[in-house]
């Protein structure tokens, strides 16, 4: 027998020598939730260990994360129903929770990369990512105007990376044009390029109370059965001015991460979504799996598939382990 691959596995030193992929703290983007009020730290029931923070405690938590080496964060607003309306007008309220939070984070932690979410659903009384017509149709081009204003307001508040998660056609181009016209050509766009109509989003919608009030999101989010369609979306986003391409969810779509990585020169990111996090936590609570080992293996699989960065609710846990 001439070939014995086990020779390269015989000791930890040799295994480390030939290891192909690594997970580091620099790969991590931490999604976080902000709520109104003071001294508020409310656990998301379906996401053990993940909290909705009022701004004062959010800043403390970010400080702890920065001390662990996490330098990238993505912020989402959890708003009460009275702040929501059909046109998502709260999204451009400079005195509102979200824009104040962005400004406060950048003021206290200017060194971090601060990513935002651009979609109507956190602000919409309809719970959809786009503007809903009287007939219940999601209006694409009318939504773009709202998204452009939302993105501009976030850039003005200090955002480094705009994250359009809405899946409207042409939104990357429209947002890029709005940002450039107002002097924000330095602000990046991380497009949710291949965002699938997935059942893995349930805990996130619990956290934001942003589930659609009727129907579903299948007319704008992608069909889980399709992969070639992701290449169409990637080509368009790249042509329209995206700086990063994202795949969401990640774990059930590793083939899509690999597909995009093989067909673009742009960085590819993966969103390790709430349902993926919740499954690991639930199984660990039952004693069925080792949470830390499964967490690390799961995230490493995303790196192996080609992800350059990962949005993950495990970020603080991973950073803590890597620092030990």
Kindly list the distances between the CA atom of residue 295 and the CA atoms of 22, 26, 54, in Å, as whole numbers in the listed order: 14, 17, 27
Residue 169's nearest CA partner among 237, 239, 89 is: 237
Catalytic residue among 71, 86, 106, 195: 195
- Region of 312 (left: φ > 0; alpha: ψ -120 to 50; beta: rest) is beta
Q: In the annotation, is 41 catalytic?
A: no
Catalytic residue among 84, 217, 248, 303: 248
Q: In the annotation, is 248 catalytic?
A: yes
Residues that are catalytic: 195, 248
């Amino acid at each position: 027998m001439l070939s014995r691959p086990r020779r390269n596995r015989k000791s930890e030193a040799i295994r480390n020598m030939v290891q192909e992929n690594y997970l580091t703290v620099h790969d991590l983007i931490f999604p976080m939730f902000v709520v109104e009020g003071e001294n508020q730290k409310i656990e998301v029931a379906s996401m053990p260990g993940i909290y909705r923070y009022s701004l004062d405690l959010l800043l403390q938590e970010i400080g702890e994360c920065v001390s662990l080496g996490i330098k990238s964060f993505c912020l989402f607003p959890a708003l009460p129903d009275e702040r929501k309306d059909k046109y998502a007008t709260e999204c451009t309220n400079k005195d509102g929770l979200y824009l104040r939070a962005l400004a406060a984070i950048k003021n206290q932690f200017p060194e971090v990369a601060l990513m935002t979410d651009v979609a109507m659903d956190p602000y919409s009384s309809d719970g959809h990512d786009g503007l809903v017509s009287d007939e219940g149709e999601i209006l694409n081009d009318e939504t773009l105007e709202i998204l452009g204003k939302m993105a501009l307001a976030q850039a003005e508040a200090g955002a480094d990376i705009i994250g359009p998660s809405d899946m409207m056609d042409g939104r990357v181009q429209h947002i890029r044009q709005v940002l450039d016209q107002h002097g924000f050509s330095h602000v990046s766009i991380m497009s949710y390029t291949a965002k699938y109509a997935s059942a893995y989003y349930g805990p996130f919608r619990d956290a934001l109370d942003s589930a659609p009030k009727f129907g579903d999101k299948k007319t704008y989010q992608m069909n889980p059965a399709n992969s070639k369609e992701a290449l169409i979306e990637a080509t368009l986003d790249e042509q329209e001015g995206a700086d990063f391409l994202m795949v969401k969810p990640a774990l059930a779509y590793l083939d899509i991460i690999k597909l995009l990585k093989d067909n673009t020169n742009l960085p590819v990111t993966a969103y390790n979504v709430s349902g993926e996090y919740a499954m690991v936590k639930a199984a660990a609570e039952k004693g069925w799996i080792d949470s830390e080992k499964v967490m690390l293996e799961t995230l490493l699989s995303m790196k192996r598939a080609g992800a350059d960065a990962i949005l993950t609710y495990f970020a603080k846990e991973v950073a803590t382990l890597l620092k030990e």
